[in-house]
Structure 1
């Protein structure tokens, strides 16, 4: 099943990146094998390093830092809070996650638009209107992705924290360990597997985010928010260079494989890694 539904499309995609397939013209019906020409053109293009950098910035700040850290904070607060407060906060946070991505994208676009909620709120304090999506496109899409995806990390960490025996933390508290020491010396080591799993999942999910950025900025202004998924879409479907766009998608797949390998290595027990 994995070979058919995962291996097959990957091999088909790699083969397509070695051709000059297009959406229009003679190569639409009869693509020709061009070898590594698409990759040579891609690595010579200034668009690739810019998109790779923006993709890493987007993944690091919206997933590794934003969703991961905020999800952990919310899980810790829910653990120490009452049932009513926990249920209310969980409902609000999860509400953003269950929204269809297109709805979340338009909601975020409306929030950051010149006449949107953010500028309306800031105007109360005398702050002038700011074209957020034009002046700070990456900040906007990062914040939107954090808002939408944090609940997944919160749920993962909430489940992990519930598995920690309370007597362990109580023993650390009796020994005089402060809250920070209990977290870093007791809690965090015990949920290390959950942290690694969560990081792997949200990293791979964030690498492939397309709709949110496309609706909010379409990769602009210019190429200031042109991550790899948007660059692949632009080359394949807007410029009709299907083979070239598939080469970009293959690079994105390899980056995802590198991240997955790193996280899987991190998840292995210390004995296996030694």
Structure 2
């Protein structure tokens, strides 16, 4: 009987071995190496490139005293808040406005919004760059209306990148909210309307509370994906806007300080963990009520 149980156990889990091995090789092991390298002076040139040394927490001490790191953290937080708020709100508004429209209208609007999302990030960044550049579409519209031209990428580079990222990522939120809104029973809204609720009250007191878990999950996913955004920022502004991924790239591959660059990547990971814990706690708190 015991031999049968062992065979049955092996039969159930033997098929998971290849997947587990692949995860260990391509996910767990690189994370372990990254953590280790953040405690070394690994470099691409010089003596440290051929014989790296374990330097302990020296890279992390350097981060705490590096004013450029603090500036990058602030820039990253602003970029995160602007992008996440913009994508979440705009995606919900589009999905809500299309809720009661006919199928043809929804397909047309959906295709237009999805066009930005399906583009590779670098292609979308080039499109956004041509829109915000001095001779781009935005300035053409401004001058056509009698307004002065603005050097958006020079005077407002962070705002330009935030707006471009909102444009690029809104479609994901729209699709998530479309699916959630389609599952909201129309009978609940009709009952509220009969009881005297107007459209805004119906939205804020009926619809949004019903899909609040979807809103929280979508917000967390957008936050984590935005935190690692590199191509959009670097393509549009080069190193003018230094979010943490861009700053990490400069230190690791332009200054050849791989050890310090990997330590900065740990800071990005830490910020992602903090936001994830924050979202999960809010979701659990609301779910426990």
TM-score > 0.5, shorter chain as reference:
yes
The answer to whether structure 1 residue 45 and structure 2 residue 61 are counterparts is no
> Which residue does 1:17 correspond to in 2?
38
Report the Cα distance in structure 1 between the residues aligned to 2:39 and 2:248, rounded to whole angstroms.
15
The number of aligned residues is 268
After TM superposition, list the pairs within 5 Å mapping 1:108-119 onto structure 2.
Answer: 108-119=128-139
Runs of 4+ in 1 over 4 A off after TM superposition: none
Q: C-alpha distance in 2, partners of 1:201/1:237?
A: 28
Which residue does the alignment assign to 1:58? 79
Q: What residue in structure 1 maps to residue 253 of structure 2?
A: 237
Q: Distance in 2 between matches of 1:123 and 1:226?
A: 30
1:84-99 to 2 correspondences below 5 Å: 84-99=104-119
TM-score after normalising by structure 1: 0.94
Q: What is the aligned partner in structure 2 of residue 82 from structure 1?
A: 102
How far residue 7 of structure 1 moved from its aligned partner, in angstroms, is: 2.9
Question: Cα gap change, 1:270/1:70 in structure 2, threshold over 3 Å: closer, same or farther?
Answer: closer
Q: What is the TM-score normalised by the length of structure 2? A: 0.90
Q: Structure 1 residue 102 and structure 2 residue 118: aligned?
A: no
Query: Which structure is larger by alpha-carbon Rg, 1 or 2?
Result: 2
User: Which of the numbers 163, 180, 187 marks the counterpart of 2:200?
Assistant: 180
Alignment of 1:235-274 (within 5 A): 235-268=251-284, 270=286
Structure 2 residue runs without a partner (length 5+) = 1-19
Using the TM superposition, give the Cα deviation of residue 3 of structure 1 relative to its aligned residue in structure 2, in angstroms.
4.7
Gaps of 5+ in 1: none
For residues 154 and 270 of structure 1, the distance between their equivalents in structure 2, rounded to whole angstroms, comes to 23
Report the equivalent of 1:211: 231
